[in-house]
Amino acid sequence: MVKHAGGKNTSSESGRARRGKGAGEPFGFCGITFKSVDSVTVRNHLLALVGLSVIVKICVLFATVFIFNSFVDTFDHQYYLQNFINVMDGKIPYADFGFDYPPLAFLPIALAFLPALLFNSAGMFILSFQALMILFDAVIVCCVYLIGLKLYPERTAFLAGILYATAFAGAYFVLTKYDAFPTALLMIAILFAVYRKPKGGYLSATAGLLAKIYPAVALPFIVLYNSAVTSLKEEVYSILKILIPILVILGVPILVFRPSIITSYIGGSLVRSDVYVNTATNTIYALFNNILHVSVSANVISAGMYGFMVVALLILLFYGWIVRIQKEKMLIKLVALALFVIVFCMKYHSPQYILWFLPLVCLLVADSLAGIAMFYITQVVAYIEFPLAFGTLYVNTSYVSPVDTPGWYFAWLFFAVESVLFIVLMYLAVRPTRAHIDRIRAFFQKAGTSVTP
């Protein structure tokens, strides 16, 4: 019998019939061998997924401009280009000018700058940067498929890849933003983790941290997952061997020569005073103050949302600790939930933040018809939010229509429904059961029994 990565058994005859000419040659790369499927099948699937991903992006560009008469956002590209020009002029990032991202962000910016320099064209920089992001997105879709092979039979793994490749709202953000690069590093980290290559996972997650902070969210869960076959002490030591040298290399020069860089980065990147209207925080604030006419300050609601975020993250970490995250799907669920909670609870929001958890959600709903339907519904809503509704329904910090007008209520209702739909999507992705609560209750009961005299 041939055993699939997802756990289903089929006869060796049907396996050979499906594999065809490439049977007997399991696919492998970077020391990882996929024994459940042959190399020809995997390569054909990967080529199809990458091709589909590129086609969807072309279609999204065409539809955005020529069907919906909307725009392709290049604001962030201009920001990247201007900051790299500052570097070329001899200025020091974070010290001489503020920069919203960690230092590894300059890698794709520098690569995209080369053809712009050759042709002396800002437009060439935009095209080059978009091409790079498409390349990193191809890495993401490959990771989704390869991780899916660990969770499911190959057809379901392929479906997970199709879901991500056809995520049209995500495709728009890949073309217009930077987040495909750190998300690719996050997905590589999870890929290495589920195939028991812990060092590769730690290195990739750390690289993701140096590109944008959110991939670091996966690190404690990957540590807990790896500790199920070693020990927590051993895994903490392994990750510290990677993190400490990097922190020393980056941190000591800053502390010695220009410690103000740290406060400059935190102030410019992590501390924002405005509450964005496309957040759950503002939706709740508007509900109390403008619909229910109960006076509650935005700061109080924001503090409550951040408090909820901290508690939720601690609960997820605690649950991961008591169950030791022995299953790959549990690792993906916990990381996806942690990222979603962060995105949902922040008081500022860029639409591309959904890319942070989107590939993980594709993996979790690939075996659920209801989950797949909700996935595409949220893609429609996210695409309407940006770019279609931006400037007509809302701008960053306010609805376009005045308070108590039909346009204002419609804007509020849109974002309220969007928040609910994403919560439903995450529920269908994670599918929590009473057993999860029982595991926590059993832990405390056992702890209470052990301390009883």
Beta-bridge mates of residue 34: 27
pLDDT of residue 338: 98
CA dist., res. 220 & res. 321, Å (int): 10
Neighbour-count burial of 184, counting CB atoms closer than 10 A to its CB (0-12 exposed, 13-18 middle, 19+ buried): buried
User: How far is residue 143 from each of residues 137, 186, 189, 293, measured CA to CA in Å?
Assistant: 10, 10, 10, 48
Number of structural domains in the chain: 1
Q: Which tokens in the block code for residue 14? A: 């049907």
Neighbour-count burial of 187, counting CB atoms closer than 10 A to its CB (0-12 exposed, 13-18 middle, 19+ buried): buried
**What's 39's DSSP letter?**
H
pLDDT of 74 strictly over 90: yes
114-159 pLDDT tens trace: 999 999 999 999 999 999 999 999 999 999 999 999 999 999 999 9
Residue 450 lies in a domain: no
For the CA atoms of 146, 148, 153, 154, what is the dihedral angle to 10 degrees? -40
Residue 453 lies in a domain: no
CA dist., res. 164 & res. 170, Å (int): 8
CA dist., res. 29 & res. 5, Å (int): 16
Note if the pTM is more than 0.85.
yes
Which amino acid appears at position 437 of this protein? Answer: I
Averaged over 353-367, what is the pLDDT?
97
Backbone angles phi, psi at 33, to 5 degrees: -115, 130
In 3D, which of 47, 45, 98, 100 has the Cα closest to residue 348? 100
pLDDT of 197 strictly over 50: yes
Does the N-terminal peptide bond of residue 387 adopt cis geometry, omega within 30 degrees of 0? Answer: yes
Is 35 within 8 Å of 26 (Cβ atoms)? yes
Residue 260 pLDDT grade (very low, low, confident, very high; cuts 50, 70, 90):
low
412-423 pLDDT tens trace: 999 999 999 999
Residue 451 lies in a domain: no
Residue 452 lies in a domain: no
Residue 21 lies in a domain: yes
Lowest mean pLDDT segment, chosen from 166-180, 248-262, 393-407: 248-262
pLDDT of residue 222: 96
Residue 347 lies in a domain: yes
Q: Which tokens in the block code for residue 132? A: 């790079």
Residue 351 sits in which domain range?
2-444
For the chain, the farthest-separated pair of C-alpha atoms sits apart, in whole angstroms, at 79
Residue 128 lies in a domain: yes
User: What stretch of H or E contains 81?
Assistant: helix 75-88
Residue 398 lies in a domain: yes
Is 225 within 8 Å of 119 (Cβ atoms)? no
